[in-house]
Structure 1
């Protein structure tokens, strides 16, 4: 695909900055559309235009119409959803002008992956390892809870919102106000996450990583690792579903070394930061491209959130030492000497998220996605 104009549909998160820099380096004109007027990626010298849209949470139809108007007005060739807004943006697939592409799978396929219940059923049907999962309020869920320790969580959620744990032999109860919740077997073991780029069932690359510093249940500092059995699981799933687009998973590797996929995130996650920025656009655009290179650095961090978590752990000797070591040694995901302003202005551009996180006592990750997440089919 020749260089043209790319519309990135999120700007507040570091992953968007990676893609803005990558496409700009390939000669593309970069436009960022965001409900926030000020955001991290908007401070980058790689962004040509910044457009403000309504938030999807305020009305899905209005959000999609705003994106269509930007596509038409600014001559967009490629629409690139990256985060939780992907579930909304994918609905543009059949409404875009001829020749304009959105890098996401069909809506039905996408939403089936986003839904924790349907994803677990799909993976199980493919013969892949997932924990036992059932809809809360069903006899299957009650039987599961009687047999093993379990987790209750929303079927549609992100950033670890609305999770509760239960012991075997107890009746599962709602963990939040969400209309649909699941009961899932609680697997004990080591937690890993992945990020992949896929084209028609072929994986261009998979990053496996684990959290080093956590903000709630979301990692703000992370380490890339090699884990062949997880990589093979991802490749098998992508091949069997013929997936095209970004796709990520959370795994727990049980005591026998078996990776159990606890959920799928059909979007970009923090694993993208381990891919060389110069290779990222080509890996997204060209199914025949050589696999993108990994950065030499295996430890990355979002500096400001990591700093906050390190300060908060100052009186927790073991945790503080680990957090401080990570803060001092991990490479920041946003810093670039050629494009310094996103890092330097982050306390200002992220102020809206920071302030809401403090005033509501919720994690940065939860607050940063609440207005763009897909929770139901209304609106």
Structure 2
């Protein structure tokens, strides 16, 4: 039996990938820094192996993954989330013939850097807001002229993001945490998730958050946005992209999409794809049919939505009614009757992250990948 290695198991995106590969007959192994994790309770996962987090040492993390590949006879390494930037450095440590679904580190890290993404997109004729490094005189001039957003160049899940009105003072630049000052674009915000191969888009999901936990969507709706899909196709072609690619995009009042930042990895939009179709397309990008979308256009992460609904009872009664309706009428991303434990056991399997979020008094999504992110 052929084996795929998922390099993170704590997130629902990993569960979709595990189920997709198991459905087409592959053996699924998960490498995960936490002792217990969401995918570990799934019947689709044959084995979970604990590895050190890259936050404790990048070299140790990569060598642990390489040992898993050798010992489990892995043919495909599939990164799931923020650990992608580390996994991109794995190929030189692997036996010949093992495929890693990432782009090379040079282009991957350039686009993961929010400033590098803006420079790349603008150079290829794609609309992005004016953006300058915090501490650059041009950033101060931009902030004086209108609303801006200040964000860490390697942040994710909304961590460290500031929105400032025109003329408000910018924070002091911190060389240890470089940041970007970006012109604020008024409009509707969307996210995307794309699978591409050699610059050709195989499938894209465009979606928007319908219930937020902090700045992270925990319920979402798939929508049709032809202008956004065209923007994504142009970007993928310019980068000659293979693998997963995602963006946060604002559509202004004239219907013009502006790319805010790039996530060179999966996002929650992956949940809208048929999991087995996605696995087939990853394995045979030139021969398999394009992945189909699931029939559901609205999905949620039940436990996070339950928490936000309970909190809204005390904060905003009108929001509570809307949230409760979403909770009761929207399908959970993890639920399968033939594989129920990932959803039912989630409070136990994700307890390490829940505890960390409670200690820091921040939403779950803001700490879920702290130990595997790339911050250089």
Assess same fold via TM > 0.5: yes
Displacement after TM superposition at 1:176 (Å): 7.7
1:154 touches 1:176 (CA, 8 Å); kept in 2?
A: no
Quote the residue 2:283 is aligned against: 285
Deviation, structure 1 residue 317 = 2.1
Q: Which residue of 2 aligns with 1:297?
A: 296
State the partner residue of 1:141. 139
Structure 1 stretches lacking a partner, 5+ long: none
Residue 170 of structure 1: how far off its partner (Å): 3.4
Are the counterparts in 2 of residues 153 and 175 from structure 1 also a CA contact under 8 Å? Answer: no
Unpaired runs of 5+ in structure 2? none
Find the counterpart in structure 1 of residue 196 from structure 2.
198
CA distance in 2 between partners of 1:156 and 1:99 (Å)? 32
Question: 1:27 Cα shift?
Answer: 1.1
Query: In structure 2, which of residues 113, 116, 130 is the aligned counterpart of residue 115 of structure 1?
Result: 113
Q: What secondary structure does 1:91 align onto?
A: coil
> How large is the Cα RMSD of the aligned pairs?
1.2
Match of 1:16 in 2: 14
Instruction: Find the aligned partners of 1:329 and 1:317 in 2 and give their Cα distance.
Output: 19
Question: C-alpha distance in 2, partners of 1:205/1:80?
Answer: 18
| Correspondence for 2:223 among 222, 225, 228 | 225
Q: Is the 8 A contact 2:63 2:93 kept in 1?
A: no
**Native 8 Å contact 1:163 1:176 kept in 2:** no
Please report how far the alpha carbon of residue 178 of structure 1 lies from its aligned counterpart in structure 2 after TM superposition: 4.7
Equivalent position of 1:106 in the other structure: 104
Is the contact made by 1:120 and 1:263 (CA closer than 8 Å) also made in structure 2? Answer: yes
State the SS of the aligned residue for 1:57. Answer: helix
Q: Could you tell me which residue of structure 2 aligns to residue 154 of structure 1?
A: 152
In the alignment of these two chains, the number of paired residues is 374
Q: Deviations over 1:321-379 (max 9, x none)?
A: 22111111111000111111111111110111111111210111111110011001xxx
Q: Is the 8 A contact 1:154 1:178 kept in 2?
A: no
Please give the residue correspondences for 1:250-329 in structure 2 after superposition, counting only pairs within 5 Å. Answer: 250-288=248-286, 289-315=288-314, 316-329=316-329
How big is each residue's C-alpha offset from its partner over 1:42-96, in whole Å with a ceiling of 9 and x where there is no partner?
1001111110000111111110010011111111111000100000011012221
Displacement of 1:169: 2.7
Q: CA shift at 1:318, angstroms?
A: 2.4
Alpha-carbon shift at residue 119 of structure 1 (Å): 0.1
CA distance in 2, matches of 1:370, 1:196: 24
Counterparts of 1:53-132 in structure 2, within 5 Å, are 53-132=51-130
CA distance in 2, matches of 1:177, 1:307: 39
Partner of 1:336: 336
Distance of 1:177 and 1:296 partners within structure 2: 47
Shift of residue 177, structure 1, vs aligned partner: 8.2
2:48 matches 1:50: yes
